[in-house]
Chains A and B, each alone.
Chain A
Amino acid sequence: MAKNPMELKWQEIPLGFVWNQPQSSLNNHTGSWRSERPIWDEQHCIRCGVCALFCPEACVRTDERGYFHADLDYCKGCSICAHECWTGCIKMKPEEA
């Protein structure tokens, strides 16, 4: 794995700011911005997937049982999943230090 781009010195910036590793943006764990995280109540979840459909980061995925979770490396806590959820089973929980 190449050096983390965020640690490059100016001399190491690739010519023209061109990045030649496809999907390398996955290395940026932008979930650090989040101030709230979505919590699914599996008692009420009907596994319809509307949360995954609306997630603007495409970071909501199913587990092996078909229930949904957010990948917290990328989830920014926008709460769109909670807003769109038909059964209201997603609650936003503040991230506390």
Chain B
Amino acid sequence: MGKRKGVESSIALADSAAMCRIEAIAAYPITPQTHIVEHLSEWVNDGHLDAEFVPVESEHSAMSAALGMSAVGARTFTATSSQGLALMHEILFIAPAMRLPIVMAVANRSLSGPISIWNDHSDIMTDRDIGWVQIFAENGQECFDLVPACFRVAEDKRVVLPTILNFDGFVVSHMIEPIEFWTQEQFDAYLPPFDPQIKLDVRKPVAMGAVGIPEIYYEARLAQQNALLNAKAVVVEAFAELEKMVGRKYNLVETYKADDADAILYLMGSLSETAMTAVDNLRKQGKKVGLVRPRLWRPFPTQELLAAFGNVPVVGVCDRALAFGHEHHMVAQEIRTLFYDAPNRPKLVEFVIGLGGRDVTIGDMEHILNRLLEVKNGAPVGPVEYVGVRK
């Protein structure tokens, strides 16, 4: 068992990336991700990590530089957030198309405007369909554990796709937690040296990033889609090996007291930590409620989610970003789609909560869970509820 120490999640995440023996970092500081790349620059500057650290002038350049460094066969890491992720947008699509297994940590934060540095999921919802493997961590320990898992999945010969590790800005990134560190030997045993499947090499010239004219673009895109869908099995394997190594079990879909529940709430990210306390409080009152949350978000774990929900009659969905101009927001859309072909569709109750860092309390979560039970007992579903908004 590794050593446990009290440390900020961002610092632990950066340490974990360094202990993955990353060889290239391209980074631009942006709140609340800054501590990660700042700490990595210390690793490099102090001579503890033999990596190329490229302090670029924008996130557009950060992702572009990451592509180039990954293309020459370097294990490449970067991190960003919010406006930074948005500025990377056009390059984000190119990394999976070129099958470059970059790993990026994204400290989820709201998008402007109004200007906001605080936590919600509007940044990553906007970049949902970029073609990366996407995983969610909900506390500091998970951030630390899942960085090597991300590299393992990304670089696997059966995957070869970039991977994002999402975690909530400030709520997780700036939290000081007791985190159990792995030893360097554990990292080395878990994560083999990078064996690039694609490499720029003057002795074996290749063309990368070629034009895909109408006669071939379609086939290239479908190849990429199927590669991403097929990554799921490798994520399962990476989590199983992680459990063998450090004893913590990670699933594609995590559940909390969902087995016998009359109503299940579906949420993403660190909200579930608050929701678990609310579930415990309601369970003490004899109310059977539970939680389901995705650990793996892309590829979307359809079968695992359906299995986790079982035949529950009422499902609640929490959105932490708005799909402007649509009555159903992104997470709700995904869960509605999930159940469309199900023989026994549950009633779906939609909530929006915690936009732009608005505090989400245990009381808010108890309110949501009680609402689900009211629907179970015959109350109308109603339109999406904007929890905690002044009106």
Chain A residues within an 8 Å CB radius of B98: 16-18
Q: Are B219 and A15 in contact (CB under 8 A)?
A: no
Whether A15 touches B210, Cβ cut-off 8 Å, given contacts A8-B219, A10-B226, is: no
Q: Which residue of B198, B209, B213 is within 8 Å of A15 (Cβ)?
A: B198
Chain B residues within an 8 Å CB radius of A19: 206-207, 210
Tally A-B pairs: CB < 8 A. Answer: 53
Q: Are A16 and B219 in contact (CB under 8 A)?
A: no
Question: Could you tell me which residues of chain B, from 164 to 223, have a CB within 8 Å of some CB in chain A?
Answer: 197-198, 204-210, 212-213, 215-216, 218-220, 222-223
Question: Could you tell me which residues of chain A, from 1 to 21, have a CB within 8 Å of some CB in chain B?
Answer: 5-6, 8-13, 15-20
Task: Say yes or no for B97: interface residue by CB 8 A criterion.
Answer: yes
User: When A and B form their complex, which 5 residue pairs have the shortest distance between CB atoms, in order from nearest?
Assistant: A16-B99, A10-B219, A13-B223, A10-B222, A6-B215
Most chain A beta-carbon contacts within 10 A, residue among B209, B216, B223: B223
Q: Which residues of B are in contact with A by a Cβ distance under 8 Å? A: 97-100, 160, 197-198, 204-210, 212-213, 215-216, 218-220, 222-223, 226
Q: Are A18 and B219 in contact (CB under 8 A)?
A: no
- Once bound together, how far apart are the Cα atoms of A10 and B197, in whole Å? 19
What's the dominant secondary structure at chain B's contact region?
loop
- Once bound together, how far apart are the Cα atoms of A15 and B155, in whole Å? 13
- Once bound together, how far apart are the Cα atoms of A13 and B223, in whole Å? 7
Q: Are B99 and A20 in contact (CB under 8 A)?
A: no
Interface pairs (9), CB distance under 8 Å: A6-B215, A8-B219, A10-B220, A13-B219, A15-B197, A16-B97, A19-B207, A19-B210, A22-B207
Q: Are A17 and B220 in contact (CB under 8 A)?
A: yes
B225 CB to closest chain A CB (Å) equals 9
Mask for A25-65, Cβ within 8 A of B = 1, else 0?
Answer: 10000000000000000000000000000000000000000
Chain B residues within an 8 Å CB radius of A17: 97-98, 208-210, 212, 220
Mask for A66-97, Cβ within 8 A of B = 1, else 0?
Answer: 00000000000000000000000000000000
Chain B residues within an 8 Å CB radius of A9: 219
Whether A16 touches B160, Cβ cut-off 8 Å, given contacts A10-B222, A10-B223, A10-B226, is: yes
Q: Are A15 and B215 in contact (CB under 8 A)?
A: no
- Once bound together, how far apart are the Cα atoms of A22 and B207, in whole Å? 8
